[in-house]
Amino acid sequence: MHPAPSVIIFTTFSGLGFGLLFWLGLGAIKPMGWGAFLWFFIAYAMAVGGLIASTFHLGHPERAIKAFSQWQTSWLSREGIAAVFTLVVMGIYALGALFGVHMGFTGFIGAIGCLATVFTTSMIYAQLKTVPRWRHWSTPAMFLLLSIGGGALFAGQVTVAIVLLLIAAVMQYFAWMSGDGRLSHSGTNLKTATGLGTIGEVRAFEPPHTGTNYLLKEFVHVVGRKHSAKLRQITLGLAFLAPILLLLLPFNHFFALLAVLCHVAGVLTLRWLFFAEAEHVVGLYYGKR
């Protein structure tokens, strides 16, 4: 799949923003007044900034309001509704905090909304039968772990962050290893794609056009796979290992900032790989994957 920057920025920063809002909503930290303004500003900047970034890849962003209508079947529509609901609820909670009122129940509802938003985001990818690597429970698990793990890191919840990032690292390793064989185990191959497998071995002989097209640009991306092993090591190091080590050191604001920056860079790499490595079955028709 084509790793579009807008979608990588969206999934990374929205995930972190809603993760931070989750911990704020649960009351893990209860900033008041100007402190609250700063915390909620950071969280909203990431969550809303990510959502805005996601509209950059749309052909017609001016019609985006229509995307709230098909929640009965569409995970993308559900995500939009969950995001707006959560941002409104957490907005009320943040307003209270700004004026020194802690509304525990509102925050709790907002925290649930954060999880729901991240889950619906992950289901946009996990629902796709056409991308076997994504169609697995580890996809929503990873989105949720990275969101609340990264959120805990931002919120300064040292112990929780270390535990969640450790689990996330193991889970991500599992997702990569199990995902590598999922296309070949999916049962979809050039034989079923063309229906010609009953005659014999099928080979793509000539593509429809000599040039490229939308399908090849969007769905067939091979550069990511070429450097997959290296990028996976970089991801594990930056997103998980470095932040955990920095958190284990005696607390210091500089180390905390470094941990956050490493984590963000790591998750950006992780998400780039998430898209770049994923194989869409339409590539089979072109003798590619």
Residues lying near another protein in the complex (CB under 8 A) are found at 1, 57-61, 63-64, 66-70, 72-77, 80, 124, 127-131, 186-188, 190, 192-196, 198-209, 211-215, 218-219, 280-282, 285-286
CB of 286 to another protein, least distance (A): 8
DSSP letters for 43-87? HHHHHHHHHHHHGGG-S-GGGGGGGGS-TTT-HHHHHHHHHHHHH
Nearest to 139 by CA among 112, 154, 120: 120
CB of 74 to another protein, least distance (A): 5
CB of 212 to another protein, least distance (A): 6
Using the minimum distance from each CB to another protein, give the nearer residue, 82 or 260. 82
Rounded to 5°, angle at Cα 135 from 133 and 139: 85
Encoded amino acid at 31, one letter: P
Nearest to 147 by CA among 252, 249, 50, 247: 50
Using the minimum distance from each CB to another protein, give the nearer residue, 11 or 106. 11
CB of 199 to another protein, least distance (A): 5
Using the minimum distance from each CB to another protein, give the nearer residue, 66 or 227. 66
Are 36 and 3 in contact by the 8 Å Cβ rule? The answer is: no
CB of 108 to another protein, least distance (A): 28
CB of 66 to another protein, least distance (A): 4
Q: What token pair was written down for 47?
A: 């969550």
CA distance 228 to 277: 7
Using the minimum distance from each CB to another protein, give the nearer residue, 244 or 281. 281
Are 228 and 266 in contact by the 8 Å Cβ rule? The answer is: no
Using the minimum distance from each CB to another protein, give the nearer residue, 132 or 266. 132
Q: From the CB of residue 19, how many other CB atoms can be counted at a distance below 10 Å?
A: 29
Using the minimum distance from each CB to another protein, give the nearer residue, 159 or 210. 210
